[in-house]
């Protein structure tokens, strides 16, 4: 059926703007990449069997970069997709990682670097140089992480700092200086719940960082004066 998804399990949805108010919807599913044309309702489905340069069928995260390339984080690694040529490219993982390492998060920063997470590994790909750089684990460990931290989200603020959400806290990384800090060490963090388990991150146009969590509601940080606030359910509300 040309009008059906390849899976009802959808991890990520991305809108690619087109001309004349038209657009495409990219749906990363548990069984391949689906591209939906809302005007016709036709869905193009891409899976590894027909596209060997697609690293994996479980499309976990998707991002559109400044040049129009689609980056795909999959259970089998990193791939990119050129919407104009409808072609994929698969990228070999850095030597420090197992051959078929899943990629859970993908993000493009303001310098065009493609940031990735693979479990507790943080790295970036530089398209111009066609190289990967892995961030040393010691940067997390020097900020109180006794065990490997599972990286769940990546974003960038208007000052060029990279924010990294993990299951054991919120970190920010200065890529130019190569320094890592954990948010909980700052006095402004008094309103951040203990062991903030970050599920996703967003910086809005007012340079406000929004951190969704797995069990502690939503925390916001005004990155200009560094003011922290927290949103959660009241004690008399059900958690269901």
Q: What is the tens place of the pLDDT at every residue in 184-210?
A: 544 444 445 545 788 999 999 888 999
Q: What's the pTM value of the predicted model, to 2 decimals?
A: 0.85
CA-based nearest residue to 122, from 142, 159, 96, 143:
96
Q: String of b and e for 179-192 (b: at least 16 CB within 10 Å)?
A: ebbbbbeeeebeeb
The Cα–Cα gap between 237 and 235 comes to 6
In this predicted structure, what is the pLDDT of residue 233? 63
pLDDT score of 146:
56
**pLDDT value at residue 108:** 97
Which stretches of the chain score pLDDT less than 50? 185-191, 194, 235-240
Q: What integer pLDDT is reported at residue 16 of this predicted model?
A: 93
Q: Say if strands 169-174 and 179-182 run parallel, antiparallel, or are unpaired.
A: antiparallel
* pLDDT tens-digit series, residues 111-135: 999 999 988 889 999 999 999 998 8
Contacts of 60 (CB under 8 A, 6+ apart): 11, 12, 28, 73, 74, 75, 102, 103, 104, 105
User: How does 116-142 read in b/e, with b if 16+ C-beta sit within 10 Å?
Assistant: bbbebbbbbbeeeeeebebbeeebbee
């Amino acid at each position: 059926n040309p009008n059906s998804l390849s899976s009802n399990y959808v991890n990520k949805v991305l809108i690619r703007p087109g001309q004349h108010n038209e657009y495409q919807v990219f749906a990363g599913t548990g069984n391949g990449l689906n591209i939906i044309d809302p005007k016709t309702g036709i869905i193009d489905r891409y899976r590894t069997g027909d596209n060997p340069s697609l690293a994996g069928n479980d499309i976990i995260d998707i991002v559109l970069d400044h040049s129009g390339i689609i980056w795909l984080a999959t259970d089998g690694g990193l791939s990119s997709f050129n919407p104009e040529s409808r072609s994929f490219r698969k990228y070999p993982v850095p030597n420090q990682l197992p051959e078929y390492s899943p990629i859970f998060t993908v993000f493009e920063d303001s310098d065009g670097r493609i940031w990735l997470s693979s479990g507790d590994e943080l790295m970036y790909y530089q398209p111009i140089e066609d190289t990967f750089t892995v961030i040393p684990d010691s940067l997390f460990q020097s900020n109180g992480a006794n065990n490997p931290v599972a990286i769940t989200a990546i974003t960038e603020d208007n000052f060029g700092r990279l924010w990294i959400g993990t299951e054991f806290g919120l970190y920010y990384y200065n890529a130019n200086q190569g320094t890592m800090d954990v948010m909980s060490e700052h006095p402004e963090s008094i309103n951040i719940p203990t062991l903030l388990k970050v599920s996703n991150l967003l910086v809005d146009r007012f340079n406000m960082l929004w951190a969704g969590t797995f069990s502690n509601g939503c925390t916001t940080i005004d990155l200009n004066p560094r003011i922290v606030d927290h949103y959660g359910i009241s004690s008399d509300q059900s958690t269901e």
